[in-house]
Structure 1
Amino acid sequence: MSWTIPSPALDISMDADGSQVAVAAAGCAWVYATNSGETRAVLVPDKEKKSAVTALAFTRSGGTLVAGNSNGTVQAWRSHNWDGVSVLKSLRGTGAITRIQFPLNGDAAFLASPGRLSWWDVATDVHRPIVLDDGSGEVSDFAVSADGRLVAVGTSSGALLLVDVASGAGVRQTAIPGSIAACDIAPDGATIVVSGSDGQLREWTSDGELHAAGLPVDRVTSIRFVSAAANLLTAGGDGMVHFWVGPADA
């Protein structure tokens, strides 16, 4: 299943019930019906703040799409009617929000901006940085494990780190040629899928080895697992979003 989008995708997300896919592209959040590909909404950030949507994610509880913008603000839309933009947080000084992810165990969010990774509790508005003790390049993408305890961090140097969230200490590490464009952790935590600037999609398995992912796609700029069956969303510079069905749902 595939959709054509108006420009290269910066980020993608699927809602909790699998009925909608949101794509950050051309400065907006584009929302599509999963089954038909019909455009349901085009969400534009506050024009007075001269911002563009650079990252997005549906909350795990469903019903809300959270978008990070180029000016460091975070906004939210309710999916029942897509009306009424709410500015949840202004994270000034962080630069553009480049990734947002909600782990399965709550609606606290992990946010990435150039060279930085942080944790934000939406309910209490507590925001704290996650300090990486490795220093191997700027954060280009990240993914959080289902239990929220580990985060996989891809960097501009090609390093892929698995990091303990509480301490910032590295658990294990590998590297690919060039820089990392996108990564995500499978629901069972056993595999991390990563794409690089060389256009290849790879799997980093729990045995520490890197393997070719075997999907007929390249130039991937965003990867997201969307269910316990390991269904996968990919989007990239070819102007296409692809939905890959995992073995349990095939």
Structure 2
Amino acid sequence: MLSIFGSVHILAVVGIQLLIIPSVSSLNLTNAYLHHKCNNTEGKYSHGSAFEKYINLALRAIDSDNFLNGFGYIERGEDPNKVFVMYQCRGDSYGSKCQSCISAAVTGLRRRCPRNKGAVIWYDQCLFEISTINSFNKIDYENDFYLSNPKNVNNKELFNKETSALLVELTNKATDKNNMVGNQFVLYAAGEKRIGTKNVYAMVQCTKDLVTTTCAACFEWIFKMFSKCCDGKRGGRVLGTSCNFRYELYPFLRN
């Protein structure tokens, strides 16, 4: 089993939520649901409203995408009914894999947060968010959670040090200004490292609306959660709507 914790920041008070989800296959190529959040502060919309119309227009725009870029940020409508929709797929899951994940995410979010104007859902291979707030190139410090393996490694200090170093190395790759496809920053990197007798596999990723400096700042923020999430754990990850990292003692990405 994996332990999953979510942190919610309200007036400097941190709320912790504990959930349990089933473990997935060793290569983790499933599209497992991970977590969601209904943002009730943004309110709800009614059937037949202008907001519902614009959400449906945004979703149709996503449906016509080819998902080869693995990212979309769509704005529809006019104030006070403006809708912002974002999706980001994991760096090894673009194209048809991304499309199937986003399809599941849209269905899942509508079921779990019916008629919410603001909501986000995470699956293993993607995240999907709707909002009334324009968050383009802005770090979301409010919506995050972490998963960790309850089992510990033997040499905790060495493991923490070397795993952190691997994540920093991958961050430098992901935020390299020369790491581009076309005119867009990749903002994703994956790699592995031998630590003691174990291979550690890791990845880092930002949403593609960010620039490299904003992405680096997001990584700096979520790495502060490493000790809370991952101290000596055989696997762990922190996920937000702007960036995430993960490491395991088994391969979990496609080649």
Instruction: Settle same-fold status: TM greater than 0.5.
Output: no
- Give the TM-score normalised by structure 2: 0.29
Task: Report the structure, 1 or 2, having the larger helix content.
Answer: 2
Question: Which structure has the higher relative contact order (CA within 8 Å, separation 6+)?
Answer: 2
Structure 1 or 2, whichever has the larger Rg, is: 2
- Give the TM-score normalised by structure 1: 0.30
